[in-house]
Amino acid sequence: MSVVVKIPTQLRAAAGGEAEMEVQGATVQEVLEDLFERCGELRTRISDEDGSLRRFVNVYVAGEDIRFLDGLDTPVSDGSELTILPAVAGG
Amino acid sequence: MAVSHLECRECKARYALEALYVCEQCFGPLEVAYEQDGGARDVGELRRRIQGGPQNIWRYADFLPLAGGPPGPSGRLASRVGLPAGCTPLIRADRLAKRLGLREVWVKNDAANPTHSFKDRVVSVAVTRARELGFETIACASTGNLANSVAAHGAALGLDSFVFIPADLEEQKVLATGIYGTRVVAVEGNYDEVNRLCTELCADRDWAFVNINLRPYYAEGSKTLAFEIAEQLGWELPDRCVVPVASGSLFTKIAKGFEEWRAAGLLEGELPRMNGAQAEGCSPVATAFAEGHDICRPVKPSTIAKSLAIGNPADGPYALDLARRSGGSVDAVSDDEVRAGIALLAETTGVFTETAGGVTTAVLAKLAERGDIDPDERVVLVITGEGLKTLDAVKGTFETYAIAPTVDAFQDGVPQTVTV
């Protein structure tokens, strides 16, 4: 599956300045792994040591928060969009 | 207490005082840090300085994150600039206390702000900082009250504004926003979706989203509620505060205000017990509190308390920590209890609050009933918004006697005894 990952401004320097990247994977976990393969620095920025997402990172598949889906196991379809955003906004 | 830098609450990384809100290293929230003057300052002089200041939040400018001090040609003129917030009444609510079996309850009525909610405090600070940083357009993601305030501040200061709201908001809140000449964007979706959209928009626009890229400054405005409560109580701390929780920002920053004044020597004693109030239809923080979790699982909100309908609360972990370390709690009440809370406050104090205030009042009633509150405690109930903005919530809750204009009709049609 080819998936477009939208990179938040805070991480673009660690992603070669890109605002979005096309990566491969069938689940959110696989998509993120492929992203980390390409941009190693991103791993520590958004993942904890145990591989889960840091608590102030939100990930959306087609606009839906993955915590309402299957978390990192959420399947992604070909051509879908995965968005990484900071969680500290609003209120 | 001069403003110094922005600091990540999680990893303590430091950033310049720009329009930044997220730590690039760990994604933690950035907060404003101040230069500590080591308690060297004379407390009496500091008190006199505050008391001699304008009758609005700028009297606390020493504790707010502005590089240039209070806005306006001079500190004295500050209260004439823009749309100053604050200095709202703190009312001794003996009839409410008696009804609940308590001795001392105070109502902080923040509906008495320029756009009738506490949001004027945070927006005053955020917008003033936005102007210092050179922004010409202000914006926000809002559950209603913030939209009112951002639109009005834009009008008062001549700034362009965009406000983003969930499409199903109360009509009163939409009308009380659009009239200021802003651009109201009604987004198909709930607040969390509006917030996500604005976070994305914020990245590529040179706008000051008050609760996104200006959030560190914005959040500091909530401390002024604590400062006022303490000053109005004669420079004393209450024993307990009951505060509504949506994102958790207000709740945590009220405590921060008390703590800063304790550190400055302006107040003595313990941090008040902090009780957070949520509606059952959107209670991620209350649920996590009850289950002993450190983080909140997001929910899809469904409650009449739309101003508190944030399913993914940014400051949830900090709200949980505060409730626990202060000996408080975070509780939730049903929509029926919210309506009853609005009526209870109105009937015993003469203050008509919106649904969020119904939530807070109902939680106070719940705590009192549960026996959590020692009768000798001094309790402050923080009322954040105005009943006229959520009129649907009280429709059909009382009887109107329709009569012909005759004495007989009155005698026959209206009960003549009233219970007070």
User: Would A10 be classed as within a structural domain?
Assistant: yes
Chain B positions in Cβ-Cβ contact with residue A64 (cut-off 8 Å):
none
Instruction: Mark whether B132 and B209 lie in a shared domain.
Output: yes
**Cα maximum dimension of chain B:** 77
The answer to whether B28 touches B10, Cβ cutoff 8 Å, is: yes
Q: How far is CA B191 from the centre of its chain?
A: 17
Q: Same domain for B95 and B175?
A: no
B171 burial class (0-12, 13-18, 19+ CB within 10 angstroms)? Answer: exposed
Q: Which residue of B lies nearest to A67 if distances are taken between CA atoms?
A: B298
Question: Rounded to whole angstroms, how far apart are CA atoms A75 and A70?
Answer: 8
- Tell me: do B166 and B198 sit in the same domain: yes
Q: Is B363 helix (H, G, I), strand (E, B) or coil?
A: helix
Cβ <8 Å between A10 and B27: yes
Which residue range(s) make up the domain with A6?
A: 2-86
Average confidence score pLDDT of chain A: 94
Cβ contact, residue pair B22, A90, below 8 Å:
no
pLDDT at position B75: 54
Element (H, E) at B382: strand B378-383
A57 chain-B contacts, CB cut-off 8 A: 27
Nearest CA in chain A to B141: A90
Q: Spell out which residues of chain B touch residue A63, defining contact as CB-CB under 8 Å.
A: 193, 196
- Which of B184, B200, B220 terminates a domain? The answer is B220
Residues B232 and B199 in one domain: no
Which residues does B175 contact at the CB level (< 8 Å), separation at least 6?
none
> In chain A, what residues touch B308 (CB-CB under 8 Å)?
none
- Kindly state whether residues B253 and B286 are assigned to the same domain: yes
Q: Does A78 touch chain B (CB under 8 A)?
A: no
**Range of the structural domain that residue B56 is part of:** 39-81
| Burial (CB count <10 Å: 0-12, 13-18, 19+), residue B35 | exposed
Please indicate whether, in this complex, the C-beta atoms of A86 and B27 are within 8 angstroms of each other: yes
CA distance A80 to B4: 43
Q: Are both B108 and B251 inside the same structural domain? A: yes
Q: Is residue B226 part of a domain?
A: yes
Percent of chain A scoring above 90 in pLDDT: 89
* Bridge-based pairing state of the strands B160-166 and B3-8: unpaired
Q: Which of residues 27-66 of A touch B (CB under 8 A)?
A: 45-46, 54-58, 60, 63, 65
What pLDDT is attached to residue B189? 96
Structural domain tally of chain A?
1
CA distances for B24 relative to A45, A46, B245, B352, angstroms: 8, 10, 27, 44
Same domain, B304 and B244: yes
Residue whose tokens read 């993601």: B141
- Alpha helices, DSSP H only, in B184-327? 191-203, 215-220, 223-232, 249-263, 284-291, 316-325
Look at residue B401 and tell me if it is in a domain.
Answer: no
**Are B246 and B318 in a shared domain?**
yes
Smallest CA–CA distance, residue B245 to chain A, in Å, is 9
The DSSP output letter for B364 is H
ipTM entry = 0.94
SS3 label, residue B244:
strand
- For the stretch A3-17, pLDDT in tens is 999 999 999 999 999
CA nearest to A82, candidates A52, A60, A55, A56: A60
Q: Assign B351 to helix, strand or coil.
A: coil
Residue B22 and residue A67: Cβ atoms within 8 Å? no
User: Which CATH number characterizes residue B253's domain?
Assistant: 3.40.50.1100
Residue A37 has pLDDT above 80, yes or no: yes
Longest dimension (CA), chain A: 36
Rounded to the nearest angstrom, the minimum Cα separation between B198 and chain A is 9
| Co-location of B266 and B343 in the same domain | yes
- pLDDT, residue B45, reads 93
Question: Are B199 and A68 inside 8 Å of each other by CB?
Answer: no
CB B268 within 8 A of CB B259: no
**B397 to chain A, closest Cα gap in Å:** 30
Q: Quote the pLDDT of residue B41.
A: 72
pLDDT number for residue B280: 98
Same domain flag for B63 and B105: no
Chosen from B149, B199, B202, B222 to mutate, greatest number of chain A CBs within 10 A = B199
Whether residue A7 lies inside any domain: the answer is: yes
Is the distance from CB of B124 to CB of B57 less than 8 angstroms? yes
Evaluate whether residue A91 is within a structural domain.
no
Encode chain B (420 residues) as per-residue pLDDT tens digits.
789 999 999 999 999 999 999 999 999 999 999 987 655 578 999 999 999 989 999 999 999 999 887 776 555 555 567 898 999 999 999 999 999 999 999 999 999 999 999 999 999 999 999 999 999 999 999 999 999 999 999 999 999 999 999 999 999 999 999 999 999 999 999 999 999 999 999 999 999 999 999 999 999 999 999 999 999 999 999 999 999 999 999 999 999 999 999 999 999 999 999 999 999 999 999 999 999 999 999 999 999 999 999 999 999 999 999 999 999 999 999 999 999 999 999 999 999 999 999 999 999 999 999 999 998 999 999 999 999 999 999 999 999 999 999 999 999 999 988 665
The amino acid occupying position B29 is P
How many folded domains does chain B comprise? 4
What pLDDT does A89 receive? Answer: 87
Tell me what pLDDT residue B40 has: 59
Domain assignment present for residue B420? The answer is: no
Nearest to A86 among B22, B248, B297 (CB): B22
**Angle of helix B335-349 relative to helix B355-370, nearest 10 degrees?**
90
Whether B27 sits inside 8 A of A88 (CB atoms) is yes
A-interface mutation test, from B32, B193, B196, most A Cβ less than 10 A away: B196
Question: Tokens at residue B322, please?
Answer: 């505060």
**Residues of B with Cβ-Cβ distance to A70 under 8 angstroms:** none
Q: Which residues of B touch A8 (CB under 8 A)?
A: 22, 199, 203
Task: Please report residues of A whose CB lies closer than 8 A to that of B212.
Answer: 89-90
Residue after which a domain boundary falls, among B220, B237, B262: B220
Domain CATH number, residue A58: 3.10.20.30
Is B404 a member of any domain?
no
Contact A89 B248 (CB under 8 A): no
Q: How far apart (Å, rounded) are the C-alpha atoms in residues B213 and B130? A: 10
Q: Are residues B385 and B256 in the same domain?
A: yes
pTM for the structure as a whole: 0.96
CB B306 within 8 A of CB B169: yes
Residues B213 and B338 in one domain: no
